[in-house]
A and B are shown apart, each in its own frame.
Chain A
Amino acid sequence: MSSQAPSEQTRSSDRVADSDTRRANALAHLVLNGALVVLFATLFVRAGALPSSMWEPLGAGSFPRLVLAVLIVINLGIMAQEWRHYRSHTATAPGLIRRWLWRHRLAFGVLALFALYIVGVPALGFRLASLLFLILAQLALGVRRPRSLAIAAVIAVTFSFGLDWLFRDVFIISLPRGPLS
């Protein structure tokens, strides 16, 4: 029988899950930082083609190249660190990424709606795009009961048409108008 108190005992499945997460985290770092290294290296090369000036010793490309060079070194350092973490943990259990995506489904859903909203603002106009976004986002985030739905509708109208009126007629700033305006 273990001498540890029950609360101190960790189940082997918990330890596996922790190891899984750390290894997956390390892999995510390797992917992100690897992509950034490639990007920064490309930009470093491109910055070399920026013109210099006869009036100053530093041209348009000097400062960005300095920053990019240090960024490449730092990213390689982070990759080296994360590679050690990746190697030191066991292989991930299948379905980890799927579970992670499912856990974050609401955040991704809101992000997708937000992206559609951003694309919709110039196409539909601020008022209509905001109205649709506010209604759909509130529905996605759990508004269900009739009273809550009514409040959601009022909020949607206030922060779409209301904001548009405020900016147009009070601040004299025109927000994007759509084809229906």
Chain B
Amino acid sequence: MTEALLSGMDQLFTLSTMITMLLGVVAGVIASAIPGFTITMAIVLTLPLTFTMDPLQGVATMLAVYVGGYSGGLISAALLGIPGTPSSVATTFDAFPMARSGQPGRALALGIWASFFGALVSAIILIIAAPPLAMIAVKLGAWEYFSLIVFAMTVVASLVGKSMLKGLMTGLLGLFIATVGADPMMGVARFTFDIDLLANGFPFLVVLIGIFAVSQLLQEVEDAEQTQHGKQLIPANVAFKPLDALRETLSYPVNLIRSSLVGVFIGAVPGAGGSIANLLAYDQAKRASKTPEKFGTGTPEGVIASESGNSATSGGGLIPMIALGIPGSAVDAVLMASLMVHGIGIGPRLILDHGDLVYGMFMAMLLAAFMVLVVCLFSMRFFLRVTDVPRSVIVPVVLVCCVVGAFALNNRVTDIYLLLGVGIFGYILSKLDYPLAPLVLGVILGPIAETNLRRALMTDENWMLFFTRPISLTLLILAVVSVAFAIRQRLRQRPSEKTA
């Protein structure tokens, strides 16, 4: 292992590789800061540029984009209230209120440090524990996946806000929206009514941008007087104090470690990804906090949990890919494609046959985490200037970027029509105080839940297997405990709300 590690480092620490990695980090941060562009899109666009590079240089550059992308989503989440990527949804819950209360610099700084530590933890776990963790991940069958999704859905209980019924409604609405289009098992068209617009269903990214971005931007311009007098989104003194933020981040070590571990575990589960990890990490942090009522109002714990959770999935996602040849997410699939283009066979023997390459990738993750930290710390003062831009400029420009993002996803004009419809619906829901985060969660988890439920029953019609398989049972018990805990917290909060 030591020899392979040293050989990998030798190949990695060359000037050309470090320059391309630095450019990759910058590209990842910028791409994911723009609502509508995703990390997957950024990686896919980087892939052709790596064809002329050495295998490790090419993969390291893409890993740099990957790690940079997980941090960049924080920027629009904090400054605009719009998640730059699906993995930044939970970041908006506290980073945006914190920025709105006059502390955008603090929100960004906390997020940067949390992202850094999350990526660091996942890289270290990757180096130490990739093969054994992969063996656990591969034991997950359809029953375990379904139970994992049931557990993940209990996160809705943390996101419902004041009305449990409204939160449940939007969560289930998200589950239903995900069923529109082709049935995942039989390919039958569902609820399309022979309309071309609905033939491909509602792409998740279109729902995310429409629900969060369009409705949020419309709310920004509701106050005609403020908007037309050139008011900025965040009229504040944009102090940026990274050292203070570092101290503050390290003052929540348990939250940091727990959220990072949630991210690594979820990242290691093929198909789960950062979009689930940030919500789960946020939910767990809220439940464990001594002041859960502060979540959603701009508490640093919420920002730290979400950002460390989502960044930690970057290392976690590599675990099944390297140990078993199974991609942890769409991004990992593109990384595999990059290796295959260079003639590197992917499979369980990758670490044995190309040890220097694999350990080089591990070190590239570590190096990318440090690069992202440096780039973000130096560039945040520039990004904070966004707060000086008047709403009259920000709102139309971001709307155009959203349209580009929605179109570029699948090159379909129908997706931008769906964006408009979902955006209007999201605006109506937000005006009537329906929480929007559960809807996004439902759209993410719905297809995974349905597919695995049906696969499980197709394999064996015995429902009891959900309760007799140990990992599945454990997850279901955790789900029940999670719901009971949420109900208990709500009942506790009710007397204090009444006396307030």
Q: Which residues of B contact A (CB under 8 A)?
A: 45, 165-166, 168-169, 172-173, 175-176, 179, 183, 185-186, 188, 190-191, 214, 217-219, 221-224, 227-230, 390-393, 395-397, 399-401, 403-404, 407-408, 411, 413, 416-417, 419-420, 423-424, 427-428, 432, 449-450, 453-454, 457-458, 461
B176 with A67: CB separation less than 8 A: yes
**What CA separation (Å) do A74 and B171 show in the bound complex?**
11
A96 at interface (Cβ–Cβ under 8 A)? Answer: no
A32 with B428: CB separation less than 8 A: yes
**What CA separation (Å) do A110 and B227 show in the bound complex?**
12
B419 with A118: CB separation less than 8 A: yes
- By a CB distance below 8 angstroms, the chain A residues around B214 are 114
A143 at interface (Cβ–Cβ under 8 A)? Answer: yes
Q: Which residues of A contact B (CB under 8 A)?
A: 25, 28-29, 32, 40, 43, 46-47, 50-51, 53, 55-61, 63-64, 67-68, 70-71, 74-75, 77-78, 81, 103-107, 110-111, 114-115, 117-118, 121-122, 126, 130, 133-134, 137-138, 141-143, 148, 151-152, 155, 159-160, 163, 167, 171, 173-176
Partner of A81, one of B165, B390, B397: B165
Given A61-B190, A111-B218, A130-B403, 15 other A-B contacts at CB below 8 A? A46-B191, A58-B457, A63-B449, A67-B176, A106-B222, A114-B214, A114-B423, A117-B403, A121-B407, A121-B416, A137-B396, A138-B393, A141-B392, A142-B228, A159-B400
- Could you list 29 examples of A-B contacts with CB < 8 Å? A25-B432, A29-B432, A32-B428, A47-B191, A51-B188, A57-B458, A60-B185, A61-B190, A64-B190, A67-B179, A68-B176, A71-B173, A107-B221, A107-B222, A107-B427, A110-B218, A110-B395, A111-B218, A118-B403, A121-B407, A121-B416, A130-B400, A133-B396, A137-B396, A142-B390, A152-B392, A159-B400, A173-B411, A174-B411
- By a CB distance below 8 angstroms, the chain B residues around A51 are 186, 188
**6 closest cross-chain pairs (CB), A and B:** A142-B228, A141-B392, A137-B396, A56-B458, A60-B183, A106-B224
A155 with B393: CB separation less than 8 A: yes
**What CA separation (Å) do A91 and B175 show in the bound complex?**
37
- B217, B390, B400 — most chain A CB neighbours (10 Å): B400
Name the prevailing secondary structure of the A interface residues: helix
**What CA separation (Å) do A126 and B427 show in the bound complex?**
25
- By a CB distance below 8 angstroms, the chain B residues around A29 are 432
- By a CB distance below 8 angstroms, the chain A residues around B176 are 40, 64, 67-68, 71
- By a CB distance below 8 angstroms, the chain B residues around A43 are 191
User: Known contacts being A32-B428, A51-B186, A107-B219, is A141 close to B396, with CB within 8 Å?
Assistant: yes
- By a CB distance below 8 angstroms, the chain A residues around B166 are 78
Partner of B221, one of A46, A110, A122: A110
Q: Which partner residue on chain B sits nearest A40 by CB separation?
A: B176
What is the CB-to-nearest-CB distance from A165 to chain B, in angstroms, rounded to a whole number?
12
What is the CB-to-nearest-CB distance from B63 to chain A, in angstroms, rounded to a whole number?
20
User: Known contacts being A63-B450, A75-B169, A81-B165, is A121 close to B396, with CB within 8 Å?
Assistant: no
- By a CB distance below 8 angstroms, the chain B residues around A174 are 411
- By a CB distance below 8 angstroms, the chain A residues around B190 are 47, 50, 60-61, 64
A74 with B168: CB separation less than 8 A: yes
Partner of B397, one of A32, A111, A155: A155
- By a CB distance below 8 angstroms, the chain A residues around B218 are 107, 110-111
